[in-house]
Amino acid sequence: MSIEERMRQVESKIAAACERSGRRRDEVHVIAVTKYVSLERTKEAFGSGLIHLGENRFQDAQEKWFALSGDEQADEAGKPVWHFIGSLQSNKVKDVIGRFTYIHSLDRLSLAEAIHKRAAQLGLVVPCFIQVNVSGEESKHGMNPEDVAPFLEQISGLNSIKPIGLMTMAPYEAEPEDTRVVFRALRELRDQIRSGSPYGGQIEHLSMGMSNDFEVAIEEGATWIRLGTILVGKEEDEQ
């Protein structure tokens, strides 16, 4: 299936989920997760108007990054906006900051300090999502919900980081409806932090929802959804 055909199908699902939950379509931003696909396919996605691209490892993303955003791509208006969505090791921060605009996986103080240091060197302020492990699954990265407010206070002096929202991954469920409790809990945490925590005022966004569960995530308030398989496909599909 072509990317444009996929985009049309996804778009009608997004619109329907917004409609069902009384939300405006422009409250929901789409990140095309290109980690499963080739450079060619990534170029096609960007060329089709998918401006926001997500990758979870710099090593795997670098060929795409240099092809689409490297120095020879002089036209500033013609570059993607890159989102780093994978777990980030502090020693990889130097590769990522300055190349990826948004970080969705801030989950510990040492990482915040590393991001801040690198961003300050480059004269940048990096918008970050704090990754929360809502479901409590061992295998999931992210901080415990009750640690988010104290963490915001701890990083409040790191002025090259701008915390803008919360991110979570729901466990894979055969019934997407079963993810609703996770997304609802993240929204409630956001609301609570925003109104009740002295450092929570900027915590506005919710990065949640993937191919399997984005419709539920939208109904529960997602403002950024991260779509790989359903939107750009998986490499196996192309062969």
Ligand X SMILES: *Cc1c(COP(=O)(O)O)cnc(C)c1O
Interface residues with ligand X (CB under 6 A)? 33, 35, 56, 85-86, 169, 210-212, 226-230
C-beta of 99 vs 117, nearer to ligand X: 99
Minimum Å gap between C-beta 122 and ligand X is 24
C-beta of 104 vs 118, nearer to ligand X: 104
Question: What is the separation, in whole angstroms, between the first and last Cα of the chain?
Answer: 12
Minimum Å gap between C-beta 181 and ligand X is 19
Q: Which residues of 76-106 are buried (b: 16+ CB within 10 A; e: fewer)?
A: eeebbebbbbbebeeebbebbbebbbbbbbb
C-beta of 120 vs 230, nearer to ligand X: 230
How far is residue 156's CA from residue 144's CA, in Å, rounded to a whole number?
Answer: 19
How many Å separate Cα 218 from the centre of its chain?
Answer: 14
C-beta of 45 vs 210, nearer to ligand X: 210
Residue nearest to ligand X (CB): 228
Minimum Å gap between C-beta 196 and ligand X is 27
Nearest to 184 by CA among 199, 202, 198, 166: 166
C-beta of 154 vs 229, nearer to ligand X: 229
Angle (nearest 5°) at CA 96 between 191 and 146? 25
Minimum Å gap between C-beta 226 and ligand X is 4
Total residue length of the chain:
239
Minimum Å gap between C-beta 219 and ligand X is 17
Residue with tokens 């929204």: 187
